[in-house]
Amino acid sequence: MRLLVALLVWLLRATFVSRGALALENLALRQQLAAYARSQKRPRLNPEERAFWVALSRVWQDWRSPLAFVRPATVIDWHRRGFRCYWRWRSRKPGRPRIPAEHVAMIRRISTDQPGWGEDRIADELAIKLGIRHATSTIRRYMVRRREPRGGHTWKTFVRNHASQIFAVDSLTQHTALFAVVYVVIMEIASRRIVLINATTSPGLAWVKQQIRQATAWGKSPRFLIHDNDGIFGQFRDRKRRGEKGRRYRCHLDLWLADVMGIEGIPIPYGAPNASPHIERLNRTLREEALNQFIFLNVKHVRRVCTEYLSWCIAPERRLQPQWIVG
């Protein structure tokens, strides 16, 4: 606390000193700092000093230039640690309670006796005949898994054969300097061409629909849209819902795609991000080479960095270098 008060007093004093005096004082302090850095080991900063540098990086664009004791990457790492502590505090409430052991045994027995039933069918049987209601995700957790022999085409063959007709959509999160969570939505095709990228702090099904409309304008609509099981796609809570043609859909997005856009939504299996490897590789590249290098101020800052980075990746002089293209 005393350090912050001293810095505030120095800032008030600097407002009444001439510009030339400040430049000379800055030069003298830098010379003493350079001599100290040569003769002494690097000091350890306390939490107050770390918080000062994190706050300074938010309000001063050229904050990296005067750093002498720490590297810029260290200041960014302090901000990540602060976000982890903040999110741990936000998530301090316990999760959902475990279901009774009798229900677990019943789910395992039904999945064993009826191997062709999925979690939706088991949920309907338990709710209608026994009055036991559990989410399909809970039932899927306790089902007995079997390894069945493969038949027909594999998923890799399907993606390769329909690469020109497939869009993939995914989202990732990025926190700002004040720990506000920004959601970045990316759409691409299996040929690894970026169609759309946008960011928001308030994602929802209506916002995702608008992004799909913008990406499929002027007759550029794909035949398939691959996505994960994120909650922003409007997952049905109890069971799959039937569309106009009698087909069951897992989320509101797939139902809207089929009825309005004429696109077949394909949700990947739960816990299988490798089913959409192209966009997952793009997410990792974007995070490691761009998002992890900044402390962002707001959602506009996140959107600008993502747009400029992707524009740099697809520049003509780098199109022939595979290491610059995602995947």
Nearest Cα residue to 296 out of 286, 288, 304: 304
> Quick one: 222 and 281 in the same domain?
yes
> Quick one: 236 and 181 in the same domain?
yes
Q: How many domains does the chain have?
A: 3
Is 70 exceeded by the pLDDT of residue 240?
no
> Quick one: 216 and 117 in the same domain?
no
Evaluate whether residue 196 is within a structural domain.
yes
> Quick one: 266 and 175 in the same domain?
yes
Is 80 exceeded by the pLDDT of residue 281?
yes
Each residue's pLDDT tens digit, 101-114: 999 999 999 988 88
Q: Which residues contact 168 (CB under 8 A, 6 or more apart)?
A: 187, 188, 189, 190, 225, 226, 227, 276, 278, 279
Nearest Cα residue to 127 out of 107, 155, 149: 107
> Quick one: 57 and 186 in the same domain?
no
> Quick one: 245 and 129 in the same domain?
no
> Quick one: 168 and 296 in the same domain?
yes
3-state secondary structure of 4: helix
> Quick one: 161 and 309 in the same domain?
yes
Whichever domain contains 191, its CATH number is 3.30.420.10
> Quick one: 282 and 191 in the same domain?
yes
Pairing of strands 224-227, 166-175: parallel
Evaluate whether residue 178 is within a structural domain.
yes
pTM to 2 decimals? 0.63
> Quick one: 272 and 308 in the same domain?
yes
Evaluate whether residue 7 is within a structural domain.
no
Domain boundary residue, one of 142, 170, 204: 142
DSSP character string of 222-286: -SEEEE---GGG-B-SSS-EE-TTS-EESBHHHHHIIIII--EEEEPPTT-GGGSHHHHHHHHHH
Each residue's pLDDT tens digit, 112-136: 888 888 888 888 888 888 888 888 8
The percentage of residues in the chain with a pLDDT greater than 90, rounded to a whole number, is: 2
> Quick one: 177 and 319 in the same domain?
yes
Evaluate whether residue 76 is within a structural domain.
yes
Nearest Cα residue to 174 out of 269, 69, 297, 258: 297
What domain range includes position 65?
35-94
Evaluate whether residue 49 is within a structural domain.
yes
Average pLDDT over residues 153-159: 82
Evaluate whether residue 18 is within a structural domain.
no
Average pLDDT over residues 288-296: 87
> Quick one: 272 and 221 in the same domain?
yes
Evaluate whether residue 131 is within a structural domain.
yes
Lowest mean pLDDT among 147-151, 154-158, 250-254, 259-263: 147-151
Domain boundary residue, one of 94, 110, 126: 94
Is 50 exceeded by the pLDDT of residue 318?
no
Evaluate whether residue 309 is within a structural domain.
yes
User: From CA 203, how far away is CA 16, in angstroms rounded?
Assistant: 47
Domain boundary residue, one of 83, 113, 142: 142
